[in-house]
Amino acid sequence: MSLPLEGLSAIVTGAGRGLGRAEALELARLGASVVVNDYGQAGRDGSGEASAAPAEAVAAEIREAGGQAVAHLGDVSDFESARGLVDLAIGTYGKLDILVNNAGILRDRMVFSMSEAEWDSVIRVHLKGHFNTTHFASVHWRERSKAAGGRPVYGRVVNTSSEAFLAGSAGQPNYAAAKGGIVGLTTSTAAALAKYGVTANAICPRARTRMTEDVFAGFAEPADGQLDPLAPEHVAPLVGYLASPSAAGVNGQLLVVHGGMVAVVERPRVAAKFDSAKDTFSYEELDGLLSAYYASRPPNETFASTEVLGLRRA
């Protein structure tokens, strides 16, 4: 019996540790040949010297288990490095079928304390990094479709957003903004590439990793022999599914995943609509309509979806 991803090739960015590592191992377990990308810096804030060791170790782990994998040392926020990453997959495996964008850094601070550099670096690695790899992957898929006479090809993009975007994490304005931007990039990509046979979806994972060690410091570690409810291994199967032929009908979606639970996030809906009495609104008319409307709503209710933080496996 063939494996669901047999004959397919994949890139996983930021795959030297944590979530990316678990995702790369899962794709390989399902039969994909994997390019393991990681810039290998020691600090979760993107500090330290680049190192090929983390990516090489995961690639070696895949090969030792009988799979196919090569390592790529590269910064996905660099346009040419992202081009090289996609070219490596195509050159090694003949084509690229799956792109999992996971690479990221954290530089947390309240908005009134955040520096320009702290803002720019997080936006660059997360949001620009997702765009860079997606750009070159989409060029490849479009060219393959053209070469096939316009017929659809196989392509899957799985992007990594965050509950920080959904809930509005107060100490992470850069991270929340980047993760919100990734959702916009995902839905745009889904619409643009559907005719080529490509799907694009985003996940909001919750996992105990090097990046989140302080966030989940108060959550108890599991007893010996038990799987941590916050283990990255809870997230990886969803990535494997979204990368598979079975998920051909899943496109432009946002899913929250952690601890044995997957939640499909509904798109925003219009809560209320107001029309001007004349051609346009006046201040007084808006004051009368909107002030009365918001006075009747809970005072702390915003666009942020804080209830997602309470999601748990039943």
In tens digits, what is the pLDDT along the chain, a chain of 314 residues? 799 999 999 999 999 999 999 999 999 999 999 999 999 887 777 888 889 999 999 999 999 999 999 999 999 999 999 999 999 999 999 999 999 999 999 999 999 999 999 999 999 999 999 999 999 999 999 999 999 999 999 999 999 999 999 999 999 999 999 999 999 999 999 999 999 999 999 999 998 766 655 565 556 666 676 777 888 999 999 999 999 999 999 999 999 999 999 999 999 999 999 999 999 999 999 999 999 999 999 988 999 999 999 999 88
Taking alpha carbons only, the member of 99, 47, 103, 110 closest to residue 74 is 103
Q: How much is the pLDDT for 221? A: 67
What pLDDT, on a 0 to 100 scale, did the predictor assign at position 44? 74
Cβ atoms < 10 Å from Cβ of 254? 21
Q: Which of 121, 138, 169, 179 is catalytic?
A: 179
Query: Is 175 a known active-site residue?
Result: yes
Q: What is the pLDDT of residue 80?
A: 98
pLDDT (0 to 100) of residue 214 = 58
What's the pLDDT score for residue 5?
98
**Predicted local confidence at residue 218, as pLDDT:** 56
The pLDDT score that the predictor gives to residue 165 is 95
pLDDT of residue 314: 84
pLDDT of residue 120: 97
Tokens representing 221 are 């570690």
Q: What is the pLDDT of residue 138?
A: 98
Q: What pLDDT is stored for residue 45 in this prediction?
A: 73
> Distance (Å, rounded) from C-alpha 288 to C-alpha 282?
10
Catalytic residue among 154, 175, 196, 244: 175
Q: What is the pLDDT of residue 219?
A: 60
Active site residue 278: no
Q: What is the pLDDT of residues 32-60, one digit of tens each?
A: 999 999 998 877 778 888 899 999 999 99
Task: Respond yes or no: is residue 179 known to be catalytic.
Answer: yes
Predicted local confidence at residue 47, as pLDDT: 80
Residue type, 302: T
Which of 162, 169, 196, 244 is catalytic? The answer is 162
